[in-house]
């Protein structure tokens, strides 16, 4: 009888530890998603507007002495990248808080 109670106690501790680790993993994943999206946005030039698939470069023709613009294909992430990173961070953090709250109410 005493051996079974000890095993049950150890099983509950292991489940509690795994729940804590799951919540921590979700928080770290949320922070990672936010940092990744911020880094992508900064690498793309910190565009204040929406996504762009090209940008314009002004060039000068030395023979005709005229200036003209040329479109260069490129992927430039916009503020949606920041919004996506923040939404992922908020969702994962709230889910981890829910897991922690559920775990703490089960212990009481």
**Does residue 5 belong to any structural domain of this protein?**
no
Give the per-residue pLDDT at 103: 63
The domain of 50 spans: 22-107
Number of separate domains in the chain: 1
**Does residue 8 belong to any structural domain of this protein?**
no
Give the per-residue pLDDT at 57: 92
Q: Express each pLDDT in 37-74 by its tens digit.
A: 999 999 988 888 888 889 899 999 888 889 999 999 98
**Does residue 16 belong to any structural domain of this protein?**
no
Give the per-residue pLDDT at 36: 95
CB 37 within 8 A of CB 85: yes
**Does residue 32 belong to any structural domain of this protein?**
yes
**Does residue 52 belong to any structural domain of this protein?**
yes
* Spatial distance between the Cα atoms of 78 and 75, rounded to a whole number of angstroms: 10
* Kind and range of the H or E run holding 74: strand 66-76
**Does residue 9 belong to any structural domain of this protein?**
no
């Amino acid at each position: 009888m005493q051996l079974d109670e000890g095993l049950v106690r150890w099983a509950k501790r292991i489940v509690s530890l795994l729940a804590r680790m799951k919540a921590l993993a979700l928080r770290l994943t949320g922070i990672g998603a936010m940092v990744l999206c911020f880094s992508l946005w900064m690498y793309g030039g910190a565009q204040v507007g929406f996504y762009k698939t090209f940008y314009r470069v002004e060039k000068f023709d030395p023979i005709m002495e005229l200036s003209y613009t040329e479109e260069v294909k490129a992927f430039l992430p916009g503020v949606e990248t920041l919004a996506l990173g923040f939404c992922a961070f908020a969702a994962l953090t709230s889910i981890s808080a829910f897991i922690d709250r559920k775990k703490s109410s089960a212990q009481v």
